[in-house]
Structure 1
Amino acid sequence: MVKLTVNGQPAQFDVDPEMPLLWALRDVLGLMGTKFGCGIAQCGACTVMVDGMPRRSCVTPVGSLEDASITTIEGLAVGDRPHPVQQAWIDEQVPQCGYCQAGQIMSAVALLEENPEPSEEEIARAMTGNYCRCGTYPAIRAAILRASGQETGPPAANASERTIDRG
Structure 2
Amino acid sequence: MRLSTTVNGEPVIREIEPRTLLVHFLRDDLGLTGTHWGCDTSNCGTCVVWLDGEPVKSCTVLAAMTGGHEVRTVESLEKDGVLDPVQQGFMECHGLQCGFCTPGMLMTARALLDRDPDPSEATIREAISGQICRCTGYTSIVHSVQWAADHPAGAPGDTVAAEDAAADEPAPQPVGGAS
Fold equivalence (TM over 0.5): yes
Per the TM alignment, residue 73 of structure 1 is displaced from its structure 2 partner at its CA by 0.6
1:36-51 equivalences in 2 (<5 Å): 36-51=37-52
Gaps of 5+ in 2: 152-179
Per the TM alignment, residue 17 of structure 1 is displaced from its structure 2 partner at its CA by 2.2
Deviations 1:18-76 (A, max 9, x none): 21000000000001000111101111000001111000001100111111111101111
Deviations 1:78-124 (A, max 9, x none): 11111111111111122111011000111101111111111001111
- The equivalent of 2:76 in structure 1 is 75
Higher relative contact order (CA 8 A, sep 6+): 2
- The equivalent of 1:63 in structure 2 is 64
Q: Once superposed, which parts of structure 1, at least 4 consecutive aligned residues long, lie more than 4 Å away? A: none
**Aligned counterparts of 1:13 and 1:58: Cα–Cα separation in 2:** 19
- The equivalent of 1:137 in structure 2 is 138
**Aligned counterparts of 1:97 and 1:122: Cα–Cα separation in 2:** 24
1:11 and 2:1 matched: no
- The equivalent of 2:91 in structure 1 is 90
How many residue pairs get matched?
150
Gaps of 5+ in 1: 151-167
Identity of aligned residues (%): 37
- The equivalent of 1:32 in structure 2 is 33
- The equivalent of 1:52 in structure 2 is 53
- Computed over aligned residues only, the root mean square deviation of the Cα atoms, in angstroms, reads 1.1
